[in-house]
Amino acid sequence: MSDMFPLIVEGALTRRRGKVLVGPVDLRLEAGGVTIVIGPNGAGKTSLLRMLHGIARLNAGRIEWACGQERAREKQAFVFQTPVMLRRSVRDNLAYPLRLGGVTRREARAQADAMAEKVGLGDALGRPATVLSGGERQKLALGRALIRSPQVLFLDEPCASLDGRAMREVEEILKTAVQDGVRLIMSTHNMGQARRLASEVLFLLGGKIHERGSTVEFFDAPKTAQARAFLNGDIVE
């Protein structure tokens, strides 16, 4: 059971060069489930995730995890849309976070091998990460994030550039992570993916949470004209 929740966000805001990127945001998240963040380009999806994760400066308001900030930093991970690969093998990429945490080389490699099998890279352990396909890189990024057993995983459009097969494989990894107790907070531009994965939806517009609801509520009966227009594929500003 996660000791990180509830997550309380009050008046949180982040800006850059005087421009507000996202906020003010008021939000309460409980343990369990998948929160999918959607909205038009420029709505602040990435900035919201970065702010909640703590890698974007908080200029106003507060973000408080139930377990405290220090432990929260240790028990969460972030997967970017375009992951950075170390110029090392798949095995060494997976082992790297464990080695940083003080795990012995032998144990880290053993855990890396097990994680590679779990994310479908068991046959690629010795290959340089830099020669992997886009789908394989994203699976490696997921494995590298999950290997330290985070309680919360942030994902910024992890399937944006993937084909259907790779997307399905990544989604299966995410579903398994949820079954293992990982709390997902993820942005996507793919409404089919949002329907498949989300337990709740946050619709961002102009850097603010414009609408929030369960997956069924949001997709079947959106409350606002802007949300309805977005789901219809119209331009929303």
Q: Is 35 a domain residue? A: yes
Decide if 108 is inside a domain: no
- Let me know if residue 124 belongs to a domain: no
Domain of residue 44, residue span: 7-80+184-231
Each residue of 175-209: pLDDT tens digit? 999 999 999 999 999 999 999 999 999 999 999 99
Task: Confirm if 90 and 147 have CB atoms less than 8 A apart.
Answer: no
The answer as to whether 206 is a domain residue is: yes
**pLDDT tens-place string over residues 78-135:** 999 998 899 999 999 999 999 999 999 999 999 999 999 999 999 999 999 999 999 9
- Locate the DSSP E strands across the chain: 7-16, 19-29, 34-38, 60-64, 76-79, 152-156, 183-187, 200-205, 208-214
Confirm whether 202 is domain-assigned.
Answer: yes
Q: How far apart are CA 226 and CA 232, in angstroms?
A: 10
Instruction: Please count the structural domains in the chain.
Output: 1
CATH number of the domain residue 211 falls in: 3.40.50.300
Does a structural domain hold residue 166?
no
Give the pLDDT band (50/70/90) at residue 161.
confident
pTM, rounded to two decimals: 0.96
Q: Is 175 a domain residue?
A: no
Confirm whether 114 is domain-assigned.
no
